[in-house]
Amino acid sequence: MNRPPRTVLRLLAWLALLLASLWVLAPVWAAPPPHTARIHFHRDDGRYEGWGLHVWGDGHALGADVLWTEPLKPSGTTPFGVYFDVPLMAEAESLNFIIHRGEQKSVATDQLLPLDEFHNEVWIKSGDAKLYAMEPGVTAVPPAIVQMKMAAERQPVGVWVALAIFLTVGFVTVIAHRRTSRLHDQIGMQTSLLAEARAELARQTSVQSEMHAQNRSLAGIDELTGLLTRVGFRQALGATQAKARRNRNGFALFYIDLDHFKPINDQHGHAAGDQVLRTVASRFVAAVRESDTVARLGGDEFVVIADELADPLAAARLAAKLVSCATEVVGHGDLLLRVAASIGVAVYPHDGEDDALIASADAAMYRAKNAGRNCFRFAAAEFDDLLAQHESAEGIWRDALLNGALDASWLELTAVAGGVWARRVAPCVRKAEGGALKVLPELVAPDAGLALDADLLLLDKLAEAAEAGGEGSLWILAPARSSLSDPRFLSACRGVVARLKPAGAILVLELDAGMSRPEGLADLLARGVKCGVRVTDPSRLRVEALLPKSVSYISLIPDGDELHQRAVLAVAAAARGVGVPIVLSVCATASVPAELGATAMYRVT
């Protein structure tokens, strides 16, 4: 009986061993690929009320048209905590998700779960940005077994069978031809493996780059400018609205579109356009406060959220500043590039919220473009009208200062019983030498420099009238708030007090309250103290804890001409009682007759 050749027996033994290994490992390797991702979530305090899971992207099977789902509720509980079962698409490779409670995120950034790495099951501990491939704290499994199981689960049975057949045929071929072609086969195999490794390295590099860009985009960061993207802007807008609702205040939204940007891209290339976008973006950031938000929506569109800025005139000043930032020249090599900006301004809550607020600002931006570009418009027409009136009034004041036509007239108050006289300075403009005086229009939010020049001039005229022997025990001036912070105005006030002292007169600085928060009033009073003001009876304003201890007198003047006059007299009586040379008087209104052809007299009974 002829015995089989030793080589054949050796091949049969190897084949039997290989088939036996496949038979033993088949239950592990044959596990079908899962179609559900299970996300475990653990909190040390065991409280999960209000927590939910957001899922987006094309990896889940919650709906073909769903890109961002509503918060999912837990599917069940385990000793570890709660878990969420998310159905997957058949060919899904990754899953985008974030666990959060309200606006508070559980992890530092949005999470991208690569299914082939975590085999569709992940554990998360509250406050930790790490994804765990196994339950944290359980008995560790030897790395070799973990790697074998993970590798097995990544490969279907057909791949392993095909690989086994390929290895068997290759082994037989190598043994049969080892004496004639071993060197050739080894070189060919090494060349093939090297090529595959290079291709895999290139693919992995490309995938890593794409994932990095995707993660930054999902996190809301623009690659070019470093600003927030549309996703980040939406999150910031929601947070700002929530804060405004809690504090019962408002904010302004600026929708910015750069003008003349496309010709730069067309004529000088995208590198020049990118330089313009980066430079303008950095200028916008420098122009706003740290509490404000600047974002790039895409292309040449930007948005700015100015927190706690609901005053239309203050918003107008910031909008003008942003227009100026955009129009400055941008250098790129030997080129000097210039763009402009059209800005739409919407104010919350006056112009709506969420999408309605954005749409209002966008519509206002297009009105700015139709008005000639390189300007801004409000979403509310009444704010545009208010701005036009303010600009007209400011122009009249500037002309009066430059032409030396600014003058003053006096509104007199008298009380028969107390014998108190008060004179309130009214800024006027004299149209011609010896002509009648016309009261200047009120500056709602004057430029600080313009207001200071006017207040210093009026202080000087007040002192001249007092030294000329004009009757009056109170001399009242309503300065701008910005003047109270300027050392020149404070020094001038002290000089006027010295000039009024021989006559025993009192200087009253009358300020419009115009504020809803007590800390703003406390700041205003602190400025008054620098002028020598003393404040008493702060309980009427309920800001005891905020007022400085050195302050000993304050008067609150309500609306209405008659009440206003009575309060001024009360200021005089109280000031005399404590010997105060300067009184800071906070009022809601300070009305002055529109025309002062002669001195207006009011008798208080």
Residue 185: its H or E element: helix 178-218
Least confident of 58-62, 64-68, 375-379, 548-552: 548-552
According to the model, what pLDDT value does residue 173 have? 63
According to the model, what pLDDT value does residue 236 have? 92
Residue 366: its H or E element: helix 354-370
According to the model, what pLDDT value does residue 369 have? 92
Does the pLDDT value for residue 523 go beyond 80?
no
Looking at per-residue pLDDT, the higher value among 212 and 308 belongs to: 308
In this predicted model, what pLDDT tens digit does every residue of 463-491 receive, in sequence order?
A: 777 776 655 566 777 777 667 667 787 77
Average pLDDT of the residues in 502-526? 56
Count, in order, helices (H) and strands (E) of the chain: 16, 24
According to the model, what pLDDT value does residue 159 have? 56
Within 8 A by CB and 6+ apart from 175, the residues are 7, 10, 11
**Predicted confidence band at 403 (pLDDT cuts at 50, 70, 90)?**
low
Does the pLDDT value for residue 164 go beyond 80?
no
- What is the DSSP track for 199-250? HHHHHHHHHHHHHHHHHHHHTTB-TTT-SB-HHHHHHHHHHHHHHHHHHT--
> What spatial distance separates the first Cα and last Cα of the chain, rounded to whole Å?
144
Least confident of 24-33, 176-185, 251-260, 456-465: 24-33
- What is the DSSP track for 407-450? EEEEEEEEETTTTEEEEEEEEEEESSTT--EEEPPP-SS--HHH
According to the model, what pLDDT value does residue 356 have? 93
Is the omega angle on the peptide bond into residue 349 within 30 degrees of 0, that is, cis? yes
Percentage of residues in the chain having pLDDT higher than 90: 15
Q: What are the two backbone dihedrals, phi and then psi, of residue 302, each rounded to the nearest 5 degrees?
A: -130, 160
According to the model, what pLDDT value does residue 258 have? 94
Q: What is the DSSP letter of 80?
A: T
Question: How buried is 457 (Cβ within 10 angstroms: 0-12 exposed, 13-18 middle, 19+ buried)?
Answer: middle
Q: Can you list the domains of the chain with their CATH numbers?
A: 36-154 (2.60.40.1110), 230-379 (3.30.70.270), 406-604 (no CATH)
In this predicted model, what pLDDT tens digit does every residue of 294-338 receive, in sequence order?
A: 999 989 999 999 998 888 878 888 888 898 889 888 998 888 898
Beta strands in 307-431 (DSSP E): 330-332, 335-337, 340-348, 376-378, 406-415, 420-430
In this predicted model, what pLDDT tens digit does every residue of 55-79 receive, in sequence order?
A: 877 788 887 555 667 788 888 888 8
Question: Encoding tokens for residue 113?
Answer: 């779960």
According to the model, what pLDDT value does residue 550 have? 32
Does the pLDDT value for residue 27 go beyond 60?
no
Query: With a threshold of 0.85, does the pTM exceed it?
Result: no
Q: What rounded mean pLDDT belongs to the chain?
A: 70
**Predicted confidence band at 447 (pLDDT cuts at 50, 70, 90)?**
low
Least confident of 93-102, 105-114, 518-527: 518-527
Looking at per-residue pLDDT, the higher value among 116 and 422 belongs to: 116
Coil, strand or helix: which one is 97?
Answer: strand
Looking at per-residue pLDDT, the higher value among 505 and 596 belongs to: 505
Q: At what angle do helices 448-467 and 381-402 cross, to 10 degrees?
A: 50
According to the model, what pLDDT value does residue 303 have? 97
According to the model, what pLDDT value does residue 49 have? 82
Average pLDDT of the residues in 269-295? 92
